[in-house]
Amino acid sequence: MSSTFETIANIIAETCDIPRDSITPESHAINDLGIDSLDFLDIAFAIDKAFGIKLPLEQWTQEVNDGKATTEQYFVLKNLSARIDELVAAKGA
Amino acid sequence: MRIEYFQLIDRIVDLNLADRKISSEALVPTASTIFEGHFPGYPLMPGVLLIEAMAQTSGWLVVAMNHFQRMPFLAAVKEAKLRTFVKPGELLSIDARLEHDGSGYAIVEAKIRVERKLICDATLTLRVLDFPNAEMEREMRDRAATIGLTVEAPADG
């Protein structure tokens, strides 16, 4: 079974036409990969479907806008993977 | 249909929140200034307005699902196929189904038929945001009542 990172990297590569080998766990989806908010909706949709979750994009955006979180916490892919794992675990709890 | 005012949906025919589906009808007017340009001597309902009719029907579904708490805005149109010409005077039957209710967005599959024949279909992405102001919310509620969309109060009041 592929890791969470592998799954989201493949989703990003396919959804945004970004070379797969340029996507690393350290990549920032916005700053490094140039993904804008509309493209990220496609990614979120694919992630929601793949993992059976609902990425709380609005909550994350609000936290960033309020200065309570940084974009790195949610949009660096290793961190995004960790957030997804948490959501999957919470769903199964 | 008041085509020049972008009031494309005449009435909601069916709304099924459990199945996350809606059906609407829209009668293409027999005369409009739009047909003077699209096209001279051969009036056709513009394809972009067919897409808009699907988007408006999808929007009413999302509004109904969130009990009029938030407003959907068209953000992306995918896999749109305009299969057949639509002429003045034809009655559109529009169906939309919520494919995914995301955080701040919705994905909807929509179709238009005329006399059961599939005319067009698309996958639409809607951003779902707070109403930008009270006037818009009021206008949308009034419009919903006009087309027969029953808006229930949210369960938590």
Q: pLDDT tens digits, residue range B13-23? A: 999 999 999 99
Q: How far apart are CA A15 and CA B73, in angstroms?
A: 22
CB A74 within 8 A of CB A83: yes
To which H or E segment does residue A14 belong? Answer: helix A4-16
pLDDT tens series, chain A, 93 aa = 469 999 999 999 999 999 999 999 999 999 999 999 999 999 999 999 999 999 999 999 999 999 999 999 999 999 999 999 999 999 877
Q: Total structural domains in chain B? A: 1
Mean pLDDT to the nearest integer, B84-89: 97
User: If you count residue pairs, one on A and one on B, with CB atoms under 8 Å apart, how many are there?
Assistant: 36
Q: What's the pLDDT at A93?
A: 75
Is residue B104 in some structural domain?
A: yes
Is residue B86 in some structural domain?
A: yes
Specify the CATH number for the domain of residue B7.
Answer: 3.10.129.10
Q: What pTM, to 2 d.p., does this model score?
A: 0.93
- The verdict on A42 touching B (C-beta cutoff 8 Å) is yes
Q: Compute CA B46 distance to the chain's CA centroid, rounded to the nearest angstrom.
A: 15
Q: Is B38 a catalytic residue?
A: yes
Q: pLDDT tens digits, residue range B110-135? A: 999 999 999 999 999 999 999 999 99
Res B154 pLDDT > 90: no
Find the closest chain A residue to B130 by CA distance: A58
Is residue B152 in some structural domain?
A: no
Domain with B61 in it: 3-137
- The verdict on A7 touching B (C-beta cutoff 8 Å) is no
Q: How far apart are CA B134 and CA B36, in angstroms?
A: 36
Question: In chain A, where are the structural domains located?
Answer: 4-92
Interface confidence, given as ipTM, is 0.91
Is residue B9 in some structural domain?
A: yes
Is residue B142 in some structural domain?
A: no
Domain A4-92, CATH 3.30.200.20 — does that match? no
Is residue B156 in some structural domain?
A: no
